[in-house]
Chain A
């Protein structure tokens, strides 16, 4: 900016000064030629006024007079005309030049500027004599001032040209360098590193800037790829964890849980036989142990990945909220109306978010009431979890929470990201927390696979 001004201001100054110089010079020239022509005319007129000259002029034909009176070694032409404009006498060559530049109406007594037929500039003046004649004197600028005129015109022109070239350079500089640089700067400074990309090319900019932009673009691209890789890594982590949990829960359910159930069945059968008091006591202890083992294994399955997730979103959330209400001794209000079937991924995402939200509300916020609302709005499935806990000061940056080690909310956000949904968290100290999740519903007709426990069509049969 400043650089541009540094070039631009002197250029304009030079242009103004040069322009002024040209005008001043022109005026000075005019003055010089005017006074010269007037002096010339007046000196000739005073000579013509002498009685000797008048006498001779009357005696001799007018043409022969000139060598006596009007011959001069000074530049310019002089002519003597009578009141009707007839040429009485003229200096040498004046006869050739004067008729060309002579125009009727030349004012008497002062100098006038005229343009000759060849574009030359002349100054001309007419002075009356006592006989009623006129002495006309004229001079061509080129003749009087010679090369000075040419140079004095050339010089400001050259300087002016320079100034104009300078300004053009400034304009070019601005257009191809400063502007692209400014736009690049604005673009890069507002760039979300790892998310956005700058424009790959700016055809207006100079080659070096285009190179710079290209390099920046490549850097941004690398950052974006890296960010995506990290995101994918986090997603993979969540997904793999979920898959592992599901697998483990299934294995516990189909393996140890059934085995211990079978064991308990045998114990219960044993109990029906007649035993000594001691044996009865042992059997009782064995029954208790087996029952406890079944409960623990069931609890383990529920913690890892409850099989009742298969029931579908509403049923799974009902079961979850009822269980959590029982475990924590709080009230959880689940409100849902006309929820369409959703796929396993959304079910799982919402399930885990509600689980996490209620756990957080109770453990960190000491909430006594939690409201879980599920609704269908404009093609979106909307989940809202509100609690009356103490809340926390949330500034809106989920990533910074993750960095600080609060993985709960970051995990919720990750869950929503995996189903292409949005999450919004509103919380502040002593005002509870509201978590809002939104996910676009698949088009109707797409039935969720594997939702074997769907009970929606029972009534239709």
Chain B
């Protein structure tokens, strides 16, 4: 099966580069290019690709808004964010908006292809640079308890410890304890990282994050 891909990036040289990455791959076909958000939106509606490679910063409609619109319109297009930035909040914002993956522009051709394949098959791809907390080989995350999963999801939706505590009828201190345990189990240093790693390891799903 050939994966149909469109590419939206305002910088001609990097767009050229990505085009070269995709050329000559028998399972991937580039069906269109756009240099700004508005034309990317038109292109996506017209082509209905399997995967859309979208730059976060674009003139006109930015990447995150574009992804949100795709999801709101219910288009069956898997969005993979392309960016120069390693800011985890960008990743989180993209994922909350409905993106399936996030890859840095400095990724190698093979990584890009792998990312496209993963998101095309309904998986989640996060650039290793973005969620690189766990670098020791052989690290496998411990399973989270159901309560910990709940706490992590609420934290992922941007709720404060106080709000989580009142929602789960536990004390704020208990929330902090849960969070500390979650960080420890996932090898994360903060909430954002914990959430990204949990997504990466499949501890929580993208859909859970959207709600």
- Contact surface of A with B, Cβ cutoff 8 Å: 253-254, 257-259, 261-262, 264-266, 268-269, 271-272, 291, 294, 298, 306-308, 310-311, 314-316, 318-319, 322, 325-326, 335-338, 452-453, 455, 458-459, 461
Bound Cα distance A322, B186 (Å): 16
B94-140 contacts to A, CB under 8 A, are: 96-98, 105-106, 108-109
7 residue pairs, one from A and one from B, having the closest CB atoms: A265-B17, A262-B13, A337-B160, A258-B11, A308-B87, A319-B89, A315-B89
8 Å CB contact of B96 from A261, A265, A455: A455
* A30, chain B: closest CB distance, angstroms: 99
* A279, chain B: closest CB distance, angstroms: 18
Closest to A321 in B: B190
Tell me whether B14 and A262 are in contact (CB under 8 A): yes
* B34, chain A: closest CB distance, angstroms: 16
Tell me whether A314 and B158 are in contact (CB under 8 A): yes
Binds A, one of B43-51, B62-70, B145-153, B197-205: B62-70
Tell me whether A257 and B84 are in contact (CB under 8 A): yes
* B157, chain A: closest CB distance, angstroms: 8
Which bracket fits the contact residues of B?
Answer: 35 or more
Given A254-B11, A322-B192: A262 and B97 within 8 A (CB)? no
8 Å CB contact of B189 from A268, A325, A453: A325
Bound Cα distance A337, B162 (Å): 8
Q: Is the interface of A mostly helix, strand, loop or mixed?
A: helix
Tell me whether A265 and B18 are in contact (CB under 8 A): yes
A selection of 11 A-B contacts at a CB cut-off of 8 Å is A261-B105, A268-B109, A298-B84, A298-B86, A308-B85, A311-B90, A315-B89, A316-B89, A335-B160, A452-B64, A458-B96
Tell me whether B14 and A258 are in contact (CB under 8 A): yes
Tell me whether A265 and B14 are in contact (CB under 8 A): yes
Tell me whether A337 and B88 are in contact (CB under 8 A): no
Tell me whether B106 and A269 are in contact (CB under 8 A): no
B1-44 contacts to A, CB under 8 A, are: 11, 13-14, 16-18, 20-21
Tell me whether A294 and B106 are in contact (CB under 8 A): yes
Whether a CB of chain A sits under 8 angstroms from the CB of B170 is no
Closest to A315 in B: B89
Tell me whether A326 and B189 are in contact (CB under 8 A): yes
In the complex, chain B residues whose CB is within 8 Å of the CB of A335: 160-162
Tell me whether B17 and A452 are in contact (CB under 8 A): no
Whether a CB of chain A sits under 8 angstroms from the CB of B211 is yes
Question: Could you list 9 further interchain pairs (A-B, Cβ under 8 angstroms) beyond the known A261-B11, A322-B190?
Answer: A261-B17, A265-B105, A266-B17, A298-B84, A307-B87, A308-B87, A458-B96, A459-B157, A461-B72
8 Å CB contact of A307 from B13, B57, B71: B57
Bound Cα distance A301, B18 (Å): 23
In the complex, chain A residues whose CB is within 8 Å of the CB of B17: 261-262, 265-266, 269
Closest to B157 in A: A459
Closest to B15 in A: A262
Whether a CB of chain A sits under 8 angstroms from the CB of B163 is yes
Tell me whether A455 and B93 are in contact (CB under 8 A): yes
Bound Cα distance A309, B64 (Å): 14
Given A253-B84, A452-B64: A458 and B89 within 8 A (CB)? no
8 Å CB contact of A458 from B57, B105, B193, B210: B210
Bound Cα distance A458, B95 (Å): 11
In the complex, chain A residues whose CB is within 8 Å of the CB of B157: 459
Bound Cα distance A458, B94 (Å): 11
Given A261-B84, A325-B189, A461-B71: A269 and B20 within 8 A (CB)? yes
Which of B20, B62, B87, B98 counts the most A-chain CB atoms under 10 A from its CB?
Answer: B87
In the complex, chain B residues whose CB is within 8 Å of the CB of A461: 68, 71-72
In the complex, chain A residues whose CB is within 8 Å of the CB of B11: 254, 258, 261-262
Whether a CB of chain A sits under 8 angstroms from the CB of B159 is yes
Whether a CB of chain A sits under 8 angstroms from the CB of B92 is yes
Closest to B20 in A: A269
In the complex, chain A residues whose CB is within 8 Å of the CB of B18: 265
Given A453-B64, A455-B96, A455-B97: A258 and B160 within 8 A (CB)? no
Bound Cα distance A259, B97 (Å): 29
8 Å CB contact of A261 from B14, B57, B108: B14
